[in-house]
Amino acid sequence: MVPLRPHFAATLIVAAAILSGCKTPMATLQVRRPPTLELPSVKVLAFADFESATKGDDAIARYVRDQFIAGINREGAIQAMTLAEANERSAASGLKIEAILRGRVWADFVHIQGLREPVVTSDVVWETTDKGVKFIAEAHDKVETQTYEVVKAFVSIQLNLVQVSGVESKTIAALSGGRGFRQRIGGGSSSSYDLWTGRAEAAAAKGERNKDALLRLSADRAIREFVKAISPHQETITAVIAKGGDGSAASMIRSGQYDQAIQRLEPGLKSATKDRAPDLYNLGLAYEATGDTALLEAAVHFYRKALEFDPENEDYAAGLGRVERLMRGKAKLAEGIR
């Protein structure tokens, strides 16, 4: 039996709605996820000045550092501040700096105007027979040109996380990653592509041509991934709370009482039978929702036990798949952000 732990800052907001054509109640869970990287616990993180690797882009390097600090502090698990502020607080109140983050930023911006491409249009004459069949009687092709612009913005970030212990320090993570997009403006249909994933997407900033605005947009995307890598963070998921089992435990999960649900369910599931499959699933869900890295394996275990009794249950499979994807993602990020 798992002892009751201090409650994690995860809350469960029940969406008490019934999906169309589906009688299974769904819930929107706002859960705290662990960092995607396996790192020593850090409570105070100081940010050194980020270096610009491209001439004239000091402003975007400062922006990346400042937004990174703001993103870490929004999650609330780590105190983040500039190294200068940390040193001042250390001298004034004895604040202990546990780690220092150093960064280097590359920025690339291209705006090409006046591009031209041929466009073929046709004037078509249609004729209708007495049988109502239409066919092309004549076509006059015309070749015209249209002009368009291409805007490309990309920000790449390299980070070095150094753990500080007394006079000694050691690097505990070296990360690199970035985000950016290529956008076509005008000349017929516009298009936008994520330069990191290569996928087409909705226009990131439709019609925007300003260098600073577009580089900041690219930086914001990258920063969100880095925050997830090094800090516990909030994430919203939609999941089923299984019916047919212990109703009190299900209510505890609905109200965000994950630890109490674990304490109620686990003792009676050591030799569970098929009729307890809903409780096994809900126990896995409670473990997942706590946000404790050490308990993800327990979530996987109970999701699998539920599936063993009910292998065709898509909800149980979805829970198992969700946690296994999370664990695989953590393993991949051990070498840096993808």
* 88 Cβ neighbours under 8 A, 6+ residues apart: none
DSSP letter for each residue of 139-204? EEEEEEEEEEEEEEEEEEEEEEEEEEETTEEEEEEEEEEEEEEEEEESSSS-EEEETTT--EES-S
Strand 44-47, strand 51-52: pairing: unpaired
CATH superfamily of 244-335: Tetratricopeptide repeat domain (1.25.40.10)
Distances (CA, A) of 159 to 48, 101, 170: 11, 7, 14
In this prediction, residue 201 carries a pLDDT of 60
Is 248 in contact with 263 (CB distance < 8 Å)?
no
Distances (CA, A) of 311 to 81, 127, 274, 306: 49, 61, 11, 8
In this prediction, residue 275 carries a pLDDT of 92
In this prediction, residue 1 carries a pLDDT of 42
In this prediction, residue 168 carries a pLDDT of 79
Other beta carbons within 10 Å of 98: 18
In this prediction, residue 257 carries a pLDDT of 87
Distance separating alpha carbons of residues 300 and 328, to the nearest angstrom: 12
- The one-letter amino acid at 103: G
Distance separating alpha carbons of residues 214 and 232, to the nearest angstrom: 28
The DSSP element (H or E) to which 116 belongs, if any, is strand 99-128
Residue with tokens 């005008």: 186
Q: Is 310 helix (H, G, I), strand (E, B) or coil?
A: coil
In this prediction, residue 198 carries a pLDDT of 61
In this prediction, residue 14 carries a pLDDT of 36
Asked whether the whole model's pTM tops 0.75, one would answer no
- The one-letter amino acid at 143: V
Distance separating alpha carbons of residues 259 and 283, to the nearest angstrom: 10
Task: Indicate the domain borders of the chain.
Answer: 44-112+148-231, 244-335
In this prediction, residue 202 carries a pLDDT of 57
The pLDDT profile of the chain, 338 residues, written as one tens digit per residue, is 444 443 333 333 333 333 334 456 677 776 777 788 878 888 999 999 999 999 989 999 999 999 999 999 998 889 999 999 999 999 999 999 999 999 999 999 999 998 988 887 776 666 666 666 565 556 667 788 888 899 999 999 999 999 997 677 899 889 999 988 888 888 766 666 666 666 666 555 667 788 999 999 999 989 998 998 898 888 887 889 998 899 999 999 888 888 899 999 999 888 888 999 999 999 999 998 887 777 888 999 999 999 999 999 999 999 999 888 877 765 554 444 33
DSSP letter for each residue of 197-211? T--EES-SSTT---H
In this prediction, residue 337 carries a pLDDT of 38
Distance separating alpha carbons of residues 92 and 74, to the nearest angstrom: 25
Topology given in CATH for the domain delimited by 44-112+148-231: Rossmann fold (3.40.50)
Is 233 in contact with 32 (CB distance < 8 Å)?
yes
Q: Which one, of 183, 198, 230, 224, lies nearest residue 330 by Cα?
A: 230
Is 121 in contact with 97 (CB distance < 8 Å)?
no
Is 178 in contact with 157 (CB distance < 8 Å)?
yes
In this prediction, residue 314 carries a pLDDT of 92
In this prediction, residue 20 carries a pLDDT of 37
In this prediction, residue 333 carries a pLDDT of 47
Which structure tokens are listed for 282? Answer: 């809900």
In this prediction, residue 292 carries a pLDDT of 74
Burial class (CB in 10 A: 0-12, 13-18, 19+), 157: buried
Is 47 in contact with 69 (CB distance < 8 Å)?
yes
